[in-house]
Structure 1
Amino acid sequence: MNMLGKYTTTLKTSMTTVLVTAFAFTCISDFAHAQKIGSVDTVFKFIGPDHKIVVEAYDDPKVKGVTCYVSRAKTGGIKGGLGLAEDKAEASISCHQVGPISFDKPLNQQEEVFNQSLSILFKKLRIVRMVDMQRNSLVYLTYSDKLIEGSPQNSVTAVPVDRKITIPIK
């Protein structure tokens, strides 16, 4: 085998390893799993699932009594059905108090509380919680990013916490 052949074989093996590792990492890296609330179709596809908007609920793992609802585009068609499509970077978030708010441990001033893969390679939907001490509120921001370039599209929501409850900060 000539030098070019060895290089091509090595490159193919390396790329396969990177793809398999990236796929495995994406599958296990979610902090919390979303509960699907529902969806609506936006584009009919003859082959594969339709394009749709899905609504999912995420319970904040460190703040009891707060749930975030995220709506986002989900790509259908053949690629979407096989899990190979890259979903759009557009999402909306609305977080609400759904029960008594309580904290088991102090919170970071800002931290990522959820992430979900939007493509097989390096694109994620992220939800970050920020604490607004002056207004005694929890602020949640959703956006997406890629390894190289993210998107400036984002959505923000806030959950006011009763003034009788102090938000514990690390």
Structure 2
Amino acid sequence: MADAPSAATKPAAHPQGLSMIEKRRIEAEILKHVYDELKASQGIEVAKRTIGEAVRRSAVEQAGRFAAQSPEGTSLQAFIDMQSLWTQGGALEVEVVGQTSDTYAFNVTRCRYSEMYKDMGLGEIGHLLSCQRDGTFCEGYDKKLKLDRTQTIMQGASHCDFRFRYETGKSG
């Protein structure tokens, strides 16, 4: 019988060999049933609030693992270097609109995450399963990293406008 992992063993920030969109699909397959049960027993508002809070906490925790495993520590560039995890396999089509030492701006013109959640019958909570993760990821990764976004494809816009800034003058 194998030994249980020690308390010092930390899970990987993201499993190798699994695309982020596939990871999100697996999570959504489970959360769909939780959401349906909560809707039936507690009502739609409680169901949405519960799913939203659970996903928010998960995003912060996962971001903390990414930060802890960043060899050079957290920074805007380290964050940008991770973007391929979310775009892998065409999951997102991205147009970079600007980048400086402390800002990174891009538009997502196609979001297969949105398409996937809608195909799974989860369009009404797709923003909770995916979009809300973006800002809360910043909280767990580095409190100096901030996201401003005014629209998302998931909620009907033509594109998502991601505007990240890294507040280097503030302590994290």
- After TM superposition, is the score higher than 0.5? no
Which is richer in strand?
1
Identify, as 1 or 2, the structure richer in helix: 2
**Is the radius of gyration larger for structure 1 or structure 2?**
1
Higher RCO structure (Cα 8 Å, ≥6 apart): 2
